[in-house]
Amino acid sequence: VQRLGHSAERVARDSGIPAGFMLGQAGHETGWGQSEIKHADGSNTFNLFGLKAGQGWAGKVAEVRTTEYVDGRPRKVLAKFRAYDSYEESLRDYARLINGSPRYAKARAQTGSVVAYATELQKAGYATDPGYARKLSGAIHSALRAQRTQT
C-alpha cells in the first residue's frame, strides 16, 4: 500500500476506481508482493492483477504456471500473462479493463461498497476461484485500513 499508493491515487483520479480497491486487489493477486508474476529470467512483469494476455493483447507477455478452477476444482495450467514496464502501467491497464468492458459494468457501479464491488467482479468472471469475492473483500478492507494509518 505504501509503495503503490501514489500511483494508485493518480489512477483513481483518472478512472473513478477507488485507490484502496485497486491496492487491495493488487495485494490479493500478488500475495502482498510476495508472489508477483515473473518472466522466465526472473525479471518482474509488474502485473499486479493477474491479467492474462488474451487475443487482443499486443504487449509483452510472460508464460507462467497458475491455478485455475475448472468445475470448482483447482488445476495447474500454463497461461500467458500481460507484462508491463511499471506498476503504474499495470494499474492503468486494470482501470482501462474495468472501465472499458461491458462485462464489468455492474462492478463499476458498485465502487461505493467493497463487498458489492468484489461480488460483481466475481459474477462477471474476473477470477475462477469460487471464494474470490470473499477473499478480495478482505484484502480491500485491509488496504483501506492501511491507507487510513498513512494519512
Residue 136: its pLDDT value, please?
98
Residue 89: its pLDDT value, please?
98
Query: Where are the chain's structural domains?
Result: 5-150
Candidates 29, 89, 93, 120; catalytic one: 93
Question: Which set of grid coordinates corresponds to residue 11?
Answer: 489512477
Q: Quickly tell me which residue has 494519512 as its cell.
A: 151
Residue 151: its pLDDT value, please?
63
67/78 Cα distance (integer angstroms): 9
Estimate the share of the chain in helix, then strand, then coil, as percent rounded to the nearest 5: 50, 15, 35
Spell out the per-residue pLDDT of the chain, length 151, in tens: 999 999 999 999 999 999 999 999 999 999 999 999 999 999 999 999 999 999 889 999 999 988 888 888 889 988 999 999 999 999 999 999 999 999 999 999 999 999 999 999 999 999 888 999 999 999 999 999 999 998 6
Has 68 been annotated as catalytic? yes
Cβ pair 99, 16 in contact under 8 A: yes
Q: Quickly tell me which residue has 500511483 as its cell.
A: 7
The residue type found at 134 is R
Candidates 68, 71, 120, 129; catalytic one: 68
Nearest to 143 by CA among 50, 8, 36, 13: 8
136/119 Cα distance (integer angstroms): 9
State if pTM tops 0.85.
Answer: yes
Domain over 5-150 is classified CATH 1.10.530.10: yes
Q: What is the DSSP code (8-state) at residue 18?
A: -
